[in-house]
Structure 1
Amino acid sequence: MNEAVTLVEGAAERLSWLPDWGASLILLALGAAVAIAAHRLAFRMLTTFVAERSLFWRSLVSRTRGPTRLAVLIFVFSIVASAAPLTTGQADGIRHGLLVAFMILIGWAATTALHIWTVIYLRKFRLDSEDNLLARKHLTQMKIFERAGVTLLFVITIGAALMTFDGVRQYGVSLLASAGAAGLILGLAMQPVLANLVAGIQLAITQPIRLDDAIVVENEWGWVEEITATYVVVRLWDWRRLVLPLKYFIEKPFQNWTREGASIIGTVMLYVDHTAPVALMRAKLDELVRASPLWDGQVVNLQVSDAKEHVIEVRLLVSSSSSPRAWDLRCEMREKMIVWLAAEHPYALPRLRTDMGRQPAPDPRRHQEREERRAQPALRAAGA
């Protein structure tokens, strides 16, 4: 350190023919060039050294390129400032700037370390797995906590830097001491921000929603795409984005289709004639759903859920491993059941009883049964 100061003093003597401000400016520029060159060389050597080490050390080196460059610049400028021909005001200004830069360096390094730790922690969880409930839980928690931590570090860093200025420090002290009308107005103005910040912490702890959850909110269906410090972005089924404040999910009801798991039961409603062959429909549904790759092999059922004046209501229940697959399975079963009824049992489709025009062909089995019942008296008479 002393040798570096002596070297700068010697360089300042060689530039004594220039004005003090000119010599100081040249020394600062030379110091910045030396600092950047030294940092570049050291960074290459350090990158080569950690190339075969763990992911944490490789990430730490690659992510701290900016903070380490700033640290080297602060170190070199402090040496130049102590030996350059500066006036008292100029020296105080440079020292003040270096102090602010040092505070920014600490905040920057802390933010980078927090991000690296979050990324390393989340690498063990995979969102692309079939059962990603645990991964979405940890990902949501860490993303919210990381954003809250970054926000807190930013506020602390900026606040500490501003407090190095006398005017700002005195204003801050008087504001905290008075706790009067200005504090009340500031608190009222910050109420929405603070409410969303508290709601974000509640969401991270209780987790009524997680990233990639399938939800129904505001009569819209979609997936949770992003959770920030103040709002949630929901990607709707038609690629629109619905943006809601965080506190919405604390104060208002909504549907979460993947709260405990991704599997879900889909419902299909069919309206058919009272003469529809329910037993055959139940067997056909079982056949169709077992042939579909969208079915998860858990639930398949057909029930007559209501009988109305002109039709009966038939409810089909089929399950799938996720809500998008359940939607596709519902559409598939609805289409195939209607096609099968129209081809094999057209009399089962709903129609008005007063229609005297063209009628669907009757069921041949029912016709045969009626003929047999009509023939039974004659057969009994012949036997007697």
Structure 2
Amino acid sequence: MLDRLRLSGWTLDTEHLIVTAIGLAVPITIALAIHWVLFTVLRKVAARTSYKLDDAIIRTMRKPMRWAMIGFALSIAAHADALVGAGWDLAAKWLTPVLLGWVVYSFISALGIGLREDAESRYDPVAVRSHSTRIAILTRTAKVAVIIITIALVMLNIPGVRDIGVTLMASAGLAALAVGAAAQPALKSLIAGLQMALTQPLRLGDLVKVDGEAGRVEEIRMSFVTVRTWDERVLVVPTSRFLDNSFENWSRVSEKLTGPVFLHLDPIADIDPIRAEFERFVKGHELFDGRNIALLMTEAYPESVELRLSMSSGTIGDLWQLRCDTREHMLKWLRENQPDALIRHRLEVPRGHEKAGEP
């Protein structure tokens, strides 16, 4: 076995290699021990609080902080050993921004998870949707910024990329125009996403009607919003669509709504018994919340009248079911109690039988 090794201009013997290995193992072991003790204590402290934010931060930051502390231990060892220092100087150019970016990215994720969990445990469903929408958009924006900055810091340490960047500075004006034109849709989506987070015309879980389709908002991203319809289709709508055009938000303030059932009856219909039966049925229904109930004749035509039966319920889904039950019950009641009120198309032919008998 050779007693002497040459590596990167340094002359090393076996004893020096052993010292270097020990110099690496000791700070790394100490860093891992400190990491274990620190997060064990923090986990026990967080378990005593009622907030979920600290639990999410400790749970999410455990792994990236372990590698960050290992990197810190390597930097300490690099100051004590010239061989480690030479290798660390080369690796630190890429590892340092990557580790820092990972730590910041994980911290932003932990904030988003913790704040959302706290909101779910402390607020009503409407407030939870509001908080979740704002948290989702802002954390996603911050993550994108962290990724871009991290990649930029790593690429600046690559000599070839840095030289290309210096060369392109001579045509900075033309490049700025080209990038600005190409990035206009992306910038518009970014601004629309931030505006969506601040103004919140819609939130996660809201029931909206857009382009004639109604559904629940499942996901809000910087460039698009996904809406799940009742038949399980997914509508992908550009984010700017909700800012530039009108749409219906049926749960903007709360899930409580008033909905109608329309009946088209013959003008001979007796309205008072119909109103009494409608009120009796709805007031006895378990989905009725007692806020609004009314029967009004909204139109009168030569051969029909239009009755609007309005009722309210605590949620949009309950209101839909209540309207369907009311519509079915009232038609059944009319068939059994006022069959003449149901519209029939009549055709009168004077002396029809006599004409039918003519040759």
RMSD: 3.2
Corresponding residue of 1:71 = 68
Q: Secondary structure of the equivalent of 2:222?
A: coil
Corresponding residue of 1:8 = none
Corresponding residue of 1:51 = 43
Corresponding residue of 1:62 = 59
Q: Structure 1 residues 272, 34: CA separation in 2 closer, same or farther (over 3 Å shift)?
A: farther
Q: Structure 1 residues 15, 53: CA separation in 2 closer, same or farther (over 3 Å shift)?
A: farther
Is 1:184 equivalent to 2:200 in the alignment? no
Q: Secondary structure of the equivalent of 1:298?
A: strand
Corresponding residue of 1:232 = 225
- Could you report, residue by residue, the CA deviation over 1:306-363 in whole angstroms, capped at 9, with x for unpaired residues? 223432211111112222222111111100100111111111111123389xxxxxxx
| Whole-angstrom distance in 2 between the partners of 1:35 and 1:325 | 63
Corresponding residue of 1:218 = 211
- Could you report, residue by residue, the CA deviation over 1:113-164 in whole angstroms, capped at 9, with x for unpaired residues? 22333333334423897x5322222221121111111111111111122112
After superposition, where does 1:316-335 map in structure 2 within 5 Å? 316-335=309-328
Counting matched residue pairs gives 338
| Percent of matched pairs sharing the same residue | 34
| Whole-angstrom distance in 2 between the partners of 1:49 and 1:193 | 44
Corresponding residue of 2:49 = none
Q: Which amino acid aligns with 1:50?
A: L
Corresponding residue of 2:352 = none
Corresponding residue of 2:142 = 149
| Whole-angstrom distance in 2 between the partners of 1:347 and 1:70 | 82
My pick for the range that moved more, 291-300 or 35-44, is: 35-44
- The correspondence for 1:273, drawn from 262, 266, 274, is 266
- The correspondence for 1:283, drawn from 276, 299, 308, is 276
Corresponding residue of 1:353 = 346
My pick for the range that moved more, 165-174 or 325-334, is: 165-174
Q: Structure 1 residues 187, 98: CA separation in 2 closer, same or farther (over 3 Å shift)?
A: same
- Could you report, residue by residue, the CA deviation over 1:273-326 in whole angstroms, capped at 9, with x for unpaired residues? 111111111111111111112212111111112223432211111112222222
Q: Secondary structure of the equivalent of 1:265?
A: strand
After superposition, where does 1:1-384 map in structure 2 within 5 Å? 16-18=3-5, 20=7, 41-54=33-46, 55-78=52-75, 83=81, 91=86, 94-126=88-120, 131-175=124-168, 178-354=171-347
| Whole-angstrom distance in 2 between the partners of 1:325 and 1:28 | 71
Q: CA deviation at 1:50?
A: 2.5
- Could you report, residue by residue, the CA deviation over 1:60-94 in whole angstroms, capped at 9, with x for unpaired residues? 333223322322332344466663658xxx93x75
Q: Secondary structure of the equivalent of 1:137?
A: helix
Q: Which amino acid aligns with 1:276?
A: A
Q: Secondary structure of the equivalent of 1:303?
A: strand
Structure 1 length as normaliser, TM-score? 0.77
| Whole-angstrom distance in 2 between the partners of 1:28 and 1:217 | 66
Q: Structure 1 residues 38, 59: CA separation in 2 closer, same or farther (over 3 Å shift)?
A: farther
Q: CA deviation at 1:239?
A: 1.6
| Whole-angstrom distance in 1 between the partners of 2:20 and 2:63 | 20
Q: Structure 1 residues 245, 173: CA separation in 2 closer, same or farther (over 3 Å shift)?
A: farther
- Could you report, residue by residue, the CA deviation over 1:146-193 in whole angstroms, capped at 9, with x for unpaired residues? 111111111111112211223323433554564322222222222221
Q: Which amino acid aligns with 1:204?
A: A
Q: CA deviation at 1:238?
A: 1.4
Q: Secondary structure of the equivalent of 2:120?
A: coil
Q: Structure 1 residues 315, 76: CA separation in 2 closer, same or farther (over 3 Å shift)?
A: same
Corresponding residue of 1:378 = none
Where is the strand percentage greater, Structure 1 or Structure 2? 2
Q: Structure 1 residues 193, 29: CA separation in 2 closer, same or farther (over 3 Å shift)?
A: farther
Q: Answer whether contact 1:36 1:69 (CA < 8 A) is retained.
A: no
Q: Secondary structure of the equivalent of 2:251?
A: coil
Q: Structure 1 residues 15, 142: CA separation in 2 closer, same or farther (over 3 Å shift)?
A: farther
Q: Answer whether contact 1:215 1:255 (CA < 8 A) is retained.
A: yes
Corresponding residue of 1:379 = none
| Whole-angstrom distance in 2 between the partners of 1:34 and 1:239 | 58
Q: Answer whether contact 2:225 2:237 (CA < 8 A) is retained.
A: yes
| Structure 1 gap segments, 5+ residues each | 1-13, 357-384
Structure 2 length as normaliser, TM-score? 0.82
Please tell me whether Structure 1 or Structure 2 has the larger radius of gyration of its CA atoms. 1
Q: Which amino acid aligns with 1:49?
A: V
| Structure 2 gap segments, 5+ residues each | 47-51, 350-359
